[in-house]
Amino acid sequence: LNVAAPLRLLLVEDEPTQLLLTQRMLRQGGYEVETASDGATALAKLATGRFQLLVTDWEMPGMDGPTLCRKVRATRLPGYLYILLLTGQIATRSVVIGLEAGADDYVRKPADEAELLARLAAGRRIVQLEQSLRDANAQIKRLSVTDPLVSAFNRRYLNEQLLQEVDLARRRQQPLSVILADLDYFKSINDQYGHQIGDEVLIHFVAQASGVLRDEIDWVARFGGEEFVVVLPGIGLAAAVTVAEQIRARCANAVIATEAGDLKFTASFGVATLSATRGSNAAAATMLLREADAALYRSKREGRNRITGADRL
Amino acid sequence: MLDRHGLGTAREGARGANPRLIAPALDLVRLRATVGDDWQFMKELCRTFMASSRSLLEELQHAVSCEDRPQVKAVAHKLKGGAGSVCAQRIMDLSLALEHTALGAPGNELAGMVDQIRAALGECASVVEVYFS
């Protein structure tokens, strides 16, 4: 949420004159305003998750303001929605009903422009604070599962997410493949060019691998050191071998410019597909990685810069 | 004429009288103080109110003739809100009274109040016609 950007506000009012007047006040107050003339239309618009603020009339045909508040609070929205009730009700009991229904604040009608905007400014602060907390949480979560050097997922994410992938593949009865990759002669690279260049090679590998993967479906995790796991949901062994070949070729053809001259590197790959239909997901995931590791070992033994599928073991 | 249309000081000379009777039909001075010197917007707002309130008046008439008192109360409330937005004080006062008495007053009294609202609305229409045509 850009602090400078106008907040999106939904104004719900069934009386056209009040709608026009309030809408103008809110726009002059710097809000991006959309309108709805009844609760059902408002709920449909709010479900899009585009709004941060809701200003609603109390008395409306069909669904009144407090009912709308209750329904909104029962709806799962991407962020906090600050609700301000406009009410002609002057009894304290009515105000309590509105607040208990989920409204954050209220303004008595006819709304005074300065008061309405001041109360919404308080709402804006709450919305922005909640958004910054959510951003911080998301950032913490991202950091907790990301390798700080190469920006691929880390071992913790691999351990947790691979189980989920195995579970999903089994339930959907779809294939699931993994590619285990190991950079060839990585120790020599570190020794000859230094660790900083070694780090660049690791980053480069992830970039090359990511370049052939499907967005939001396939993913790469750093297994440890110079070893990586590529997870390919819905992909069988033959197709996974093809993906591995694309990564291998991209790595072999890439040139990394260093102060000590151009650097080329290769990697070896082992590919395996989920086969265990019985046993726990954890056991199946372990087996999958073990088969990929055995295939990788064979690639290393047979000369490196090559791919071995688990069917050749 | 300005006094009659709420552009002068009509209230000052009417101390002690029934406020419903002397409240201007449409107080353009107050409306201008509320929305600023945006003549175009005042015009749009008043025209929106006229269109909306004519329709609400028909709903009121129907609800009164059907003795649908909760509906009379609801429509009077809505009319009051619209009238408040354009500073149509007399309609606002009458609607408020109608809203408060809708559930208990005799039917002919409600019908009389609707007639008064209709008359006040007619005056508003004249003001709108004069200033915004």
End-to-end CA distance of chain B: 17
Q: Least CB-CB distance to B48: which of A20, A57, A110?
A: A20
Lowest mean pLDDT among A90-94, A296-300, B98-102: A90-94
Q: Least CB-CB distance to B81: which of A24, A61, A109?
A: A109
SS (H, E, C) chain A: CCCCCCCEEEEECCCHHHHHHHHHHHHHCCCEEEEECCHHHHHHHHCCCCCCEEEEECCCCCCCHHHHHHHHHCCCCCCCCEEEEEECCCCHHHHHHHHHCCCCEEEECCCCHHHHHHHHHHHHHHHHHHHHHHHHHHHHHHHHCECCCCCCECHHHHHHHHHHHHHHHHHHCCCEEEEEEEECCHHHHHHHHCHHHHHHHHHHHHHHHHCCCCCCCCEEEEEECCEEEEEEECCCHHHHHHHHHHHHHHHHHCCEEECCEEECCCEEEEEEECCCCCCCHHHHHHHHHHHHHHHHHHHHHCCCCCEEEHHHC
User: CB under 8 Å to A105, separation ≥6 — which residues?
Assistant: A82, A83, A84, A85, A119, A122, A123
User: From its phi and psi, is residue A285 left (phi > 0), alpha (psi between -120 and 50) or beta?
Assistant: alpha
- Give the number of other Cβ atoms within 10 Å of residue A198's Cβ: 21
Tens of pLDDT, residue by residue over A159-211, are: 999 999 999 999 999 999 999 999 999 999 999 999 999 999 999 999 999 99
Q: Least CB-CB distance to A88: which of B34, B45, B77?
A: B77
Tens of pLDDT, residue by residue over A255-280, are: 998 887 899 999 999 999 998 778 99
Q: Is the dihedral of CA B108, B115, B14, B88 positive or negative?
A: positive
Which residue type occupies A169? Answer: A
The β-bridge relationship of strands A176-183 and A307-309 is unpaired
The interface predicted TM-score (ipTM) is: 0.81
CA-to-CA dists, residue B39 to A30, A218, B25, angstroms: 21, 60, 18
Is A21's CB within 8 Å of B80's CB? Answer: no
Which residue type occupies A93? Answer: R
Tens of pLDDT, residue by residue over A97-143, are: 999 999 999 998 888 889 999 999 999 999 999 999 999 999 999 99
Mean of the pLDDT values across residues A2-15?
85
DSSP 3-state assignment of B103?
Answer: coil
CA-to-CA dists, residue A252 to A198, A247, A305, angstroms: 16, 9, 8
Q: How confident is the model at residue B1 (pLDDT cuts 50, 70, 90)?
A: very low
Q: What one-character-per-residue DSSP string does B3-15 give?
A: TTTTSS-TTGGGT
User: CB under 8 Å to B2, separation ≥6 — which residues?
Assistant: B8
Contact list in B for residue A25 (CB cut-off 8 A) is none
How much is the pLDDT for A283?
95
How much is the pLDDT for A168?
96
Contact list in B for residue A115 (CB cut-off 8 A) is none
On average, the pLDDT of chain A sits at 94
Q: How confident is the model at residue B3 (pLDDT cuts 50, 70, 90)?
A: very low
Nearest CA in chain A to B71: A61
**Any idea what the Cα angle at residue B102 is, between residues B98 and B108, rounded to 5°?**
85
Q: Which of B30, B54, B78 to mutate to test the interface with A (most CBs of A within 10 A)?
A: B78
Q: Which of A29, A112, A27, A100 is nearest to A65 (CA)?
A: A100
**Per-residue pLDDT for A61 more than 80?**
yes
Q: How confident is the model at residue B22 (pLDDT cuts 50, 70, 90)?
A: low
How much is the pLDDT for A176?
97
**Per-residue pLDDT for B6 more than 70?**
no
Q: How confident is the model at residue B12 (pLDDT cuts 50, 70, 90)?
A: very low
User: From its phi and psi, is residue A160 left (phi > 0), alpha (psi between -120 and 50) or beta?
Assistant: alpha
What tokens does A271 get? 């590919």
**Per-residue pLDDT for A294 more than 80?**
yes
Mean of the pLDDT values across residues A131-156?
95
The pTM score is 0.71
The residue with tokens 């609305």 is: B121
Q: How confident is the model at residue B18 (pLDDT cuts 50, 70, 90)?
A: low
**Per-residue pLDDT for B96 more than 80?**
yes
**What is the share, in percent, of chain B residues with pLDDT greater than 70?**
83
How much is the pLDDT for A88?
78
**Per-residue pLDDT for B5 more than 70?**
no
Contact list in B for residue A109 (CB cut-off 8 A) is 81, 84
Is A88's CB within 8 Å of B80's CB? Answer: yes
Is B81's CB within 8 Å of A24's CB? Answer: no
**Per-residue pLDDT for B20 more than 70?**
no
Partner A contacted by B112 (CB < 8 A) = no
Contact list in A for residue B41 (CB cut-off 8 A) is 24
Q: Which of B26, B30, B47, B48 to mutate to test the interface with A (most CBs of A within 10 A)?
A: B48
Tens of pLDDT, residue by residue over A83-108, are: 999 987 777 888 899 999 999 999 98
Is A61's CB within 8 Å of B48's CB? Answer: no
Q: Least CB-CB distance to A14: which of B41, B78, B86?
A: B78
Is A24's CB within 8 Å of B51's CB? Answer: no
